Structure 1
Amino acid sequence: MEIFLFVLLIIVVLVVIFFKLPYSKTVSEFSNVINQHIVNTKGESGFFEEKDIEDMPLPVQRYFRFCGYIGTPKMFYMKATFEDVDFKMSKDKTIKIDYTQYNFVEKPERFALINSSLYGIPFEGFDSYDNGVGSMKGSIAKVVTLFDQRGDEMDKACLVTILAECLAVPNIALQDYIKWEAIDDTHAKATINYYGISASGIFTFNEEGAMLSFRTKDRVATDMNGFTREAEWSTIICEYKEINGLKYPDKLQSIWHYEEGDSIYFNENKASISIEYY
């Protein structure tokens, strides 16, 4: 019995040490993918000009001016980070996560890393949209895969997420794979086409030009068990902040609009976002 307890203690100690080690298969995979894409990044250089936006709907033009992009360098990709964000895994389970994402301009590509814990055990997620293939993977204890979701619905969901975020990376909004349609003074429709997939949504702005929300029917709600259901999806910008003359989204949330009511599944606590352009 003493030998058994001693061996059990050794195993527990080794597990705790392993959890505290900086190495992570998911983090390593994410870093390798990002580094490879950064190395291969190319695209249009130069500065945002009035002629770039002259054919866009008026509320989108106002957005570029409101944020102060005219005359600033066009970016090749964006890095966005959140810390201690509320993330609703299910109706009754919300966790705190750190969230890091990269959006690339030349092609619609997006990668995001989730760092968190479940009952004191490391939980990590890797969302990816690369070469038209979307995936959402989650692992616990650094090595145990909880889910790895893929398929046509995931591909479209990832593509429409890039569309929703295109004005946060405004050089994406100018790319040929996104088409804009005027609606009225405070609304514009955008459609993204790539890899044979198409998705659309409506952007809402205020009269000054600030983007307030994006809403679409082209995304299916998928839970951690892989079950799907139809629902409209939106992302809203709650606040802006100004840094060196540019206005950035500061607090944003993602919402599922279910028949039984809205569910703010990302950032209900309104954690700030940090955006960097490269």
Structure 2
Amino acid sequence: MKLLFWFGLLVCLLVVAAVGLSAYGAKRWRDSTRSLTRGLEAARSDDKAASPFPKRYDARELEGLPAPVQRYFRAVLKDGQPIISAATLNMAGTFNLSPTGAQWKPFTARQRVITRRPGFLWDARISMLPGVAVRVVDSYIAGEGLLHATIQGLFTVADARGGGELARGEFMRFFAEAPWYPTALLPSQGVLWEAVDDASANATIVDGPITLTLLFRFNDAGLIDSFRAELRGAGVGNEMVMLPWEGRLSNYQVRDGMTVPFTGEVAWIRPEGPKPYFVGTVTSLTYQFSP
């Protein structure tokens, strides 16, 4: 009986310690993401004071744009649409944690996006085992990129931050996801469009020292079907490898008068073929508009 008692006591102590560590890790994670969110919002406030950009969409700015781009904006926006200044998305889906195989795990995430100065913060929880999760922050804030991942908010498994290719790759993500906040793709918001063919066009955007171009392809309804970058930095172990990067968008719905995609799939294009790593669906979406 004594042995059983001490065994039970040990189990109880271990459970209490695990719960305590989990609570501590969750608090650390919240504090960290709150600090990053303050940085994201501060960059927005600093830029807003001298913003020369219009506050509403004027359909006349479509004149001279490539035909598929004109069809896209006519399909997703109405003349006079307020310009999006920020968006908050909640999403759920599956994420492949293996760079070479298939290790798909369910995730939920909250993403905050600021359109000017361009930036975002993706705060995700990827379930590994019952009660065990990887917490991931992916962000582009004030011209710097960040990819930080921990187990339970306690043990760091990835931590990359700064400028260079990392910042470029995170800014590329912001741009590729702009169909969620489509006014950010307008020429009046700083995007240069160039024709490729009747179903695709290149779009170029600039933030500070970073200039990048993505190829957008459009479907028969005029909506963006996919995007592609010829080179984006992919983390493989402790190295960054430059690979083509593609994504597909679907499940378009109307929100606040705009037609936006609610489902996306993203893949690295490796020598042996496409390697999907993200499949997600937006579960809620709210906007803030320029005053």
Q: Which residue of 1 aligns with 2:128?
A: 118
Q: Which residue of 1 aligns with 2:102?
A: 92
CA offset at residue 20 of structure 1? Answer: 5.4
Task: Give yes or no for contact 1:250–1:274 (8 Å, CA) kept in 2.
Answer: no
Pick the aligned partner of 1:147 from 118, 134, 158.
158
Task: Give yes or no for contact 1:19–1:122 (8 Å, CA) kept in 2.
Answer: no
Task: Give yes or no for contact 1:124–1:142 (8 Å, CA) kept in 2.
Answer: yes
CA offset at residue 199 of structure 1? Answer: 1.8
Q: For residues 12-38 of structure 1, give each alpha carbon's deviation from its aligned partner in whole angstroms, at most 9, with x where no partner exists.
A: 323124425794322332234325544
Q: Which residue of 1 aligns with 2:194?
A: 181
Going from structure 1 to structure 2, the CA distance change for 1:144 and 1:191 (only over 3 Å counts) comes to same
Task: Give yes or no for contact 1:214–1:236 (8 Å, CA) kept in 2.
Answer: yes
Task: Give yes or no for contact 1:45–1:73 (8 Å, CA) kept in 2.
Answer: no
Pick the aligned partner of 1:133 from 144, 159, 174.
144
CA offset at residue 82 of structure 1? Answer: 0.7
Pick the aligned partner of 2:208 from 188, 195, 212.
195
Specify every segment of 5 or more residues in structure 1 that has no aligned partner in the other structure, as ranges. Answer: none
- 1:208 aligns to 2:221 (yes or no): yes
Q: Which residue of 2 aligns with 1:62?
A: 71
Task: Give yes or no for contact 2:25–2:152 (8 Å, CA) kept in 1.
Answer: no
Q: Which residue of 2 aligns with 1:263?
A: 275
**Cα separation, 1, equivalents of 2:283 and 2:201:** 24
Q: Which residue of 2 aligns with 1:33?
A: 36
Q: For residues 190-211 of structure 1, give each alpha carbon's deviation from its aligned partner in whole angstroms, at most 9, with x where no partner exists.
A: 1222221222121001243111
Q: Which residue of 2 aligns with 1:237?
A: 249
Specify every segment of 5 or more residues in structure 2 that has no aligned partner in the other structure, as ranges. Answer: none
Task: Give yes or no for contact 1:200–1:218 (8 Å, CA) kept in 2.
Answer: no
**Cα separation, 1, equivalents of 2:15 and 2:158:** 25
Q: Which amino acid in structure 1 is aligned with residue 201 of structure 2? A: A
Q: Which amino acid in structure 1 is aligned with residue 106 of structure 2? A: K
**Cα separation, 2, equivalents of 1:80 and 1:244:** 14
Normalized per residue, which structure has more helix?
Answer: 2
Q: Which residue of 2 aligns with 1:14?
A: 17
Task: Give yes or no for contact 1:185–1:207 (8 Å, CA) kept in 2.
Answer: no
Q: Which residue of 1 aligns with 2:170?
A: 158
Task: Give yes or no for contact 1:58–1:185 (8 Å, CA) kept in 2.
Answer: yes
Q: Which amino acid in structure 2 is aligned with residue 88 of structure 1? A: N
Q: Which residue of 2 aligns with 1:252?
A: 264
- Aligned-residue RMSD, C-alpha: 2.6
Q: Which amino acid in structure 1 is aligned with residue 61 of structure 2? A: D
Q: Alignment length, in residue pairs?
A: 274
Identity across matched positions, percent:
24
